[in-house]
């Protein structure tokens, strides 16, 4: 299979649209069986996928990708088994489609049902990780949708191989293989075509870094489910318990620094800072965290650098932290209002009233009192697999599971009612 031919993106999107109708009519049982079948087929074709992955890795090494980047790209027999297991878990999730959310009859006898239905065609635009190819396909099919996949060029061979195997699996099922479209082009133009294909694509979901997400949000006329940029803050209040504050800070900063729910800025009440500075400095040193801060911080923490605008506004995704000293909770909220990305924001305090003010006034998908921001995650919250973490306010907010891939439809049944 050649990967260099120019794909006809519009043709593929139209095919997906047609196939979406077929998928939408299947029963939950049919869809689950098919997901199990895809899982098994992936497991029995590991070598095919690993061979393709090797090509991507070789190209990556030639191009001098970082170790972290290579780590996200690399597959193994175990990783592929995890993909398969992920599909089986999606099969076990409740199917949201077909649910009748409301059902009432008007005085004139017209029956109204609000029914949950698939969105139609999901356009997934993502970066390196090949697991998105499997996860997104599983979630899309389970919720009765078709999917158009546009992965990053660095993983193109791996993604193509995974889709080849998914297509192979679908050959013997009720889901036409056209329901899973892979844009096998490294041309930027291919991605941009997806941005405006409103007739054929119902929603675009970008997953990756801030620049990818912004490019989609700013240029797409297709509705977008914005995911993932998390410039998350922890506010340590005057009344914060020291050991809770420090352990939550360390967890949120160091557990997995590269993920979107990691903490990027500490705002600290000046009174707390005065008393507990040394304990904080100890923890910072112990965990090899590099500090950028305001004047107070720079003066009191040796090695701390003066924070620039981008230290407040951007994610580090590394063992760096920005620290700002504030006068009160209002100051912390103002800072979050200005720099937060509406992902996850935490307050550490033993004062319930202050906590409530923070939880009410901070505008974010998830607000925490005395807990780590790391819990903003479909798995951790018990939702099962997620297609991304929404940082927007419309449609879905926070970790997005299967219901985020559905819409509703009003079904009216009458016997001649007119107005």
* Site of interaction with a copy of itself (CB under 8 A): 21, 24-25, 104, 106, 110, 112, 119-120, 202-203, 217-218, 221, 223, 225, 241, 243-244, 247-248, 250-252, 255, 355, 359-361, 363-372, 374-376, 380-382, 392-395, 397-398, 407-419
Instruction: State the virtual CA torsion across 276, 278, 284, 286 in degrees, nearest 10.
Output: -130
Alpha helices in 186-267 (DSSP H): 188-195, 210-219, 242-254
Spatial distance between the Cα atoms of 19 and 29, rounded to a whole number of angstroms: 18
Q: String of b and e for 101-133 (b: at least 16 CB within 10 Å)?
A: eeeeeeeeebeebebbbbbbbbbbbbbbbbbbb
The smaller minimum CB distance to a copy of itself, of residues 61 and 105, is found at 105
> Which candidate, 311, 226, 295, 237, places its Cα nearest to that of 267?
237
Mapping DSSP to helix (H, G, I), strand (E, B) and coil, where does residue 102 land? strand
- Closer Cβ to a copy of itself, 158 or 267, answer by number: 267
Q: Write down the least CB distance from residue 324 to a copy of itself, Å.
A: 20
Query: Coil, strand, or helix at residue 104?
Result: strand
Number of Cβ within 10 Å of residue 288's Cβ equals: 8
* Least distance between a copy of itself and beta carbon 357 (Å): 9
Residue number, 119 or 326, with CB nearest to a copy of itself = 119
What's the closest the beta carbon of residue 71 comes to a copy of itself, in angstroms? 20
Please identify, using beta-carbon distances, which residue of 112 and 239 lies nearer to a copy of itself.
112
Q: How far is the CB of 156 from a copy of itself (least distance, A)?
A: 29
**Distance of closest approach, residue 15 Cβ to a copy of itself, in angstroms:** 14
Nearer to a copy of itself, 184 or 216 (CB): 216
- Give whole-number Cα distances, 222 to 107, 151, 296, in Å: 38, 18, 46
Contacts of 261 (CB under 8 A, 6+ apart): 230, 232, 252, 343, 344, 373, 374, 375, 376, 377, 389
Which residue, 119 or 289, has its beta carbon nearer to a copy of itself? 119
Q: Which is nearer to a copy of itself, 289 or 366 (CB)?
A: 366
Q: Which is nearer to a copy of itself, 68 or 408 (CB)?
A: 408
Q: Report residue 371 CA to chain centroid gap.
A: 21
Query: How many Å apart are CA 294 and CA 276, to the nearest integer?
Result: 17
Compute the least distance from the CB of residue 135 to a copy of itself, in Å: 20
Report the residue number, 92 or 363, with the smaller CB distance to a copy of itself.
363
Q: How far is the CB of 80 from a copy of itself (least distance, A)?
A: 26
Could you tell me the smallest distance in angstroms from the CB atom of residue 114 to a copy of itself?
Answer: 8
Q: Which is nearer to a copy of itself, 173 or 372 (CB)?
A: 372
Whether the CA torsion 126, 33, 115, 120 is positive or negative: it is positive
Render the burial of 65-93: b for 16+ CB within 10 Å, e for the rest: beeeeeebbbbeeebbeebbebbebbbeb
Q: Answer yes or no: are the C-beta atoms of 216 and 204 closer than 8 Å.
A: yes
State which residue, 291 or 366, has the beta carbon closest to a copy of itself: 366
- Minimum distance from residue 38 beta carbon to a copy of itself (Å): 25
The distance of closest approach from Cβ of residue 165 to a copy of itself in the complex, given in angstroms and rounded to an integer, is 30
Give CA torsion, residues 307, 311, 312, 313, to 10 deg.
Answer: 150
Q: CB–CB of 333/346 below 8 Å?
A: no
At its nearest, how many Å lie between a copy of itself and the CB of residue 261?
9
- Rounded to an integer, what distance in angstroms lies between the CA atom of residue 348 and that of residue 370? 5
* Cα 48 to Cα 80: distance, rounded to the nearest angstrom: 11
Quick one: CA torsion of 294, 297, 300, 303, rounded to 10 degrees? -90
């Amino acid at each position: 299979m050649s990967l260099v031919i120019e794909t006809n993106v519009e043709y593929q999107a139209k095919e997906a649209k047609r196939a979406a109708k077929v998928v939408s009519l299947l029963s939950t049982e049919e869809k689950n069986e098919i997901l199990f079948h895809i899982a098994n087929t992936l497991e029995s074709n590991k070598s095919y996928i690993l061979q393709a992955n090797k090509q991507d890795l070789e190209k990556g090494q030639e191009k001098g990708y970082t170790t972290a980047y290579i780590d996200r790209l690399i597959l193994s027999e175990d990783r592929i088994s995890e993909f398969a297991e992920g599909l089986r878990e999606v099969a076990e999730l409740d199917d949201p489609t077909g649910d009748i959310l409301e059902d009432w009859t008007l005085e004139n006898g017209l029956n109204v049902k609000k029914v949950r239905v698939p969105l139609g065609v999901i356009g997934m635009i993502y970066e390196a990780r090949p697991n998105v190819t499997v996860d997104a396909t599983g979630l899309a099919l389970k919720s009765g949708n078709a999917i158009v996949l546009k992965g990053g060029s660095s993983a193109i061979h791996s993604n193509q191989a995974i889709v080849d195997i998914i297509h192979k699996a679908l050959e013997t099922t009720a889901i036409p293989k056209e329901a899973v479209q892979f844009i096998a082009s490294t041309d930027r133009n291919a991605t941009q075509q997806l941005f405006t294909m409103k007739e054929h694509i119902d929603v675009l979901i970008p997953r990756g870094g801030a620049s990818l997400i912004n490019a989609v949000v700013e240029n797409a006329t297709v509705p977008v489910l914005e995911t993932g940029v998390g410039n998350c803050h922890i506010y340590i209040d005057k009344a914060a318990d020291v050991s809770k504050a420090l352990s939550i800070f360390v967890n949120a900063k160091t557990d997995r620094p590269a993920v979107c729910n990691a903490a990027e800025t500490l705002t600290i009440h000046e009174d707390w800072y005065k008393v507990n500075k040394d304990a904080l400095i100890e923890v910072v040193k112990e965990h090899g965290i590099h500090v950028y801060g305001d004047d107070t911080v720079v003066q009191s923490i040796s090695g701390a650098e003066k924070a620039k605008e981008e230290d407040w506004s951007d994610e580090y995704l590394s063992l760096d932290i920005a620290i700002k000293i504030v006068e009160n909770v209002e100051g912390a909220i103002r800072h979050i209002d200005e720099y937060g990305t509406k992902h996850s924001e935490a307050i550490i305090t033993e004062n319930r009233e202050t906590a409530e003010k923070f939880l009410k006034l901070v505008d974010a998908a998830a607000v925490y009192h005395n807990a780590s921001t790391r819990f903003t995650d479909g798995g951790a919250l018990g939702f099962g697999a997620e297609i991304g973490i929404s940082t927007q306010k419309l449609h879905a907010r926070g970790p997005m599971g299967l219901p985020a891939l559905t819409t509703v439809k009003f079904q009216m049944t009458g016997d001649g009612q007119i107005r």
